[in-house]
């Protein structure tokens, strides 16, 4: 039969009225035998093991009690509580490939089959219409995946087709901006030019009027939905400003959302540096400040510059 040990049992008379304070530690879970009985083994404790009590008579100082984690250890010595997995959320460290959608135009080149090669638009249903094989669904596919999908369709008619897919004209991007920016909302960005460049986090923040005085530029989140899974990127624009880490300025894709959280503290020296950034504080516009405490009108107020 297993036993349970109680140790450090000490009774102390704490006042003249006979009140008694009891301090003990349970260091093992009770073991119940097959006959549903519990055996307790009491051990005397040396009073010298205890620190002198500093509380007033009739009180028990909770600081003198042993920590709970020492009283109820588990078998492995580790915490058994495991956080639930977020199956549809992933924190990414590398940018994902561009995925096709309605409005894109691609160039498709089939090696030594010029009559099937050419430029094709992605239709509203996410497909491209190709000669001989008909429509091929490319919505949400990268250029490499599109090449593989087209090759598979033509493999019925051609021997080992070699297909190369390139992006000619990307569709306009719809990007959401929220948090501590001057003008949160949804923005549409057209990508033009012979060598189109995708907008970055700083580009969209600048278009949204810049950040405000309580923005946390170290923990900006970019959320991207890829095939039903949310991919989250962290953009630290303070490292971009102070260390030149251009990888912090993430390239955006259609459907991305950019969230600027609120900072825990305001540093005036950092505000001066942020004021000089393209996405930073707009010094010619009123700034929002929070007023709390014993004032007539607490809350958020706008202050004119100067």
**pLDDT attached to residue 177:** 97
CB 219 within 8 A of CB 236: yes
Write out pLDDT tens, residues 164-214.
999 999 999 999 999 999 999 999 999 877 777 889 999 999 999 999 989
- Residue 28 near residue 38 (C-beta atoms within 8 A): no
Give pLDDT tens digits for 249-301.
999 999 999 999 999 988 888 888 888 888 887 666 676 778 888 888 888 88
Secondary structure (DSSP) of 195-235: S----BHHHHHHHTT-B-TTB-TTSEEEEEEETTEEEEEEE
Measured between alpha carbons, how far is 21 from 11 in angstroms, rounded to an integer? 6
Contact by Cβ (8 Å): 66, 25: yes
Q: Is residue 108 classed as helix, strand or coil in its secondary structure?
A: strand
pLDDT surpasses 60 at 72: no
Among the residue ranges 90-94, 156-160, 265-269, 283-287, the one predicted with the least confidence is 90-94
Q: Give me the pLDDT at residue 293, please.
A: 86
Question: pLDDT-derived band of residue 76, with 50, 70 and 90 as boundaries?
Answer: very low
Best CA proximity match to 142, nearest among 167, 123, 174: 167
Q: Which domains does the chain have, with CATH numbers?
A: 3-71 (no CATH), 105-169 (3.30.1950.10), 173-279 (3.10.560.10)
73-to-8, 10, 80, 214 alpha-carbon distances in Å: 17, 22, 10, 44
The whole model's pTM is what?
A: 0.59
């Amino acid at each position: 039969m297993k036993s349970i040990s109680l140790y450090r049992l000490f009774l102390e008379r704490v006042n003249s009225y006979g009140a008694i304070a009891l301090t003990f530690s349970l260091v093992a879970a009770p073991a119940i035998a097959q006959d549903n009985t519990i055996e307790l083994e009491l051990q005397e404790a040396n009073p010298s093991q205890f620190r002198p009590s500093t509380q007033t008579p009739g009180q028990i100082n909770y600081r003198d009690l042993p920590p709970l984690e020492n009283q109820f250890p588990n078998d492995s010595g580790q915490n058994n509580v495991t956080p639930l997995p977020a199956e549809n959320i992933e924190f990414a460290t590398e940018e994902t490939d561009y995925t096709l959608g309605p409005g894109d135009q691609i160039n498709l080149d089939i090696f030594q089959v010029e009559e099937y090669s050419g430029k094709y638009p992605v239709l509203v249903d996410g497909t491209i219409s190709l000669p001989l094989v008909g429509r091929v669904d490319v919505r949400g596919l990268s250029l490499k995946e599109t090449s593989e999908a087209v090759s598979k369709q033509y493999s019925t008619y051609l021997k080992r087709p070699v297909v190369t897919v390139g992006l000619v004209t990307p569709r306009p991007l719809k990007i959401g901006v929220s948090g501590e920016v001057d003008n949160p909302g949804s923005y549409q960005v057209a990508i033009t030019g012979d060598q189109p460049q995708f907008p970055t986090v700083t580009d969209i923040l600048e278009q949204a009027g810049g950040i405000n005085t309580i923005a946390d530029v170290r923990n900006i989140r970019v959320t991207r939905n890829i095939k039903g899974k949310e991919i989250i990127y962290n953009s630290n624009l303070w490292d971009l400003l102070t260390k030149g880490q251009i990888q912090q300025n993430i390239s955006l894709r259609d459907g991305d959302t950019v969230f600027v959280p609120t900072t825990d503290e305001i540093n005036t020296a950092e505000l001066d540096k942020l004021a000089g950034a393209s996405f930073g504080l707009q010094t010619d516009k009123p700034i929002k400040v929070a007023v709390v405490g014993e004032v007539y009108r607490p809350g958020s107020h706008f202050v004119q510059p100067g």
